[in-house]
Amino acid sequence: MDRDEGMTGARLRTPRAAAVAGIVFSVLLILALVLLTVSVPATPSRAGTWFSDAGRRRTIALALNLVPFAGIAFLWFIGVVRDRIGAHEDRFFASVFLGSGLLFVAMLFVGAAFAGGLITEIAGSTAARPGSDLLATGRVVTSVLLRVYAMRMAAVFMISTATITLRTRVVPTWIGIVGYVFAAVLLVSVGLTAWVTLLFPVWILLLSVDILRSSMRGMPEASTA
């Protein structure tokens, strides 16, 4: 009896843990992306003009400091979602789900570390400030890592996650369809505007809120039992 009660408690806690982790990740990443977008100039030719503004430097530093915590929450989200799906997961899509998620986090961390290292070096340097060409190069590299490669991995993650959740019927159909649409937009237009990168955390937020809502109703595993 105690064992059954323990298993039931774990089944009830798993969706809520996934939902909380997903919500934390979404909020942190949305905040970081918005802060970076509004603080960094849109054109590389103006890469050096923002650095003289101490307020912008602090804003960018804050955004970059949020990235590790967002990545940790995302890893937790991946683990808990896999635990919830359990034996129902498809091996092929589960491999793509895990691989794309880990690659997304890796690229997110590398991009943030590169940008943070560049800013720290420039801010702490007593020598002459690097020219705009060097700053523009650093900005482009960071942008490519965070907004192109990382977000295309995010699109693959969305496709695999939407497929798994639709097959196991753990989320409403409309959320899976929205995931496919958002993923397609990220794949083809991620380089056009920085704001399109918000589609990924917004979809994870929708998914997490739905998981939390379902668990609060006391039916977190009804469709996969």
3-class SS letters over 90-130: CHHHHHHHHHHHHHHHHHHHHHHHHHHHHHHHHHHCCCCCC
150 part of a folded domain? yes
Contacts of 18 (CB under 8 A, 6+ apart): 77, 80, 81, 84, 208, 211
The 10s digit of each residue's pLDDT in 182-196 is: 999 998 876 667 788
pLDDT mean over 50-62 = 71
**CB-based burial of residue 83 (10 Å sphere; 0-12 exposed, 13-18 middle, 19+ buried)?**
middle
Contacts of 196 (CB under 8 A, 6+ apart): 151, 185, 186, 189, 190
Host domain of residue 198:
2-216
pLDDT mean over 58-73 = 89
Binned at pLDDT 50, 70 and 90, residue 156 comes out as very high
Contacts of 134 (CB under 8 A, 6+ apart): none
Measured CA to CA, the distance from residue 113 to residue 221 in angstroms comes to 39
Q: Give pLDDT, residue 9.
A: 43
224 part of a folded domain? no
Q: Give pLDDT, residue 130.
A: 55
Quick one: tokens of 77? 């989200």
Q: Please give the sequence-ordered ranges of beta strands (E in DSSP) within 2-124, or none if there are none.
A: none
221 part of a folded domain? no
| Structural domain total, the chain | 1
102 part of a folded domain? yes
The 10s digit of each residue's pLDDT in 70-124 is: 999 999 888 877 776 665 666 777 788 889 999 999 999 988 888 777 777 666 5
* Residue 172, phi-psi category: left (phi > 0), alpha (psi -120 to 50), beta (remainder): beta
pLDDT mean over 3-14 = 45
The 10s digit of each residue's pLDDT in 163-220 is: 888 887 778 889 999 999 999 999 887 666 778 889 999 999 998 888 888 777 654 4
Q: Give pLDDT, residue 199.
A: 93
pLDDT mean over 151-163 = 91
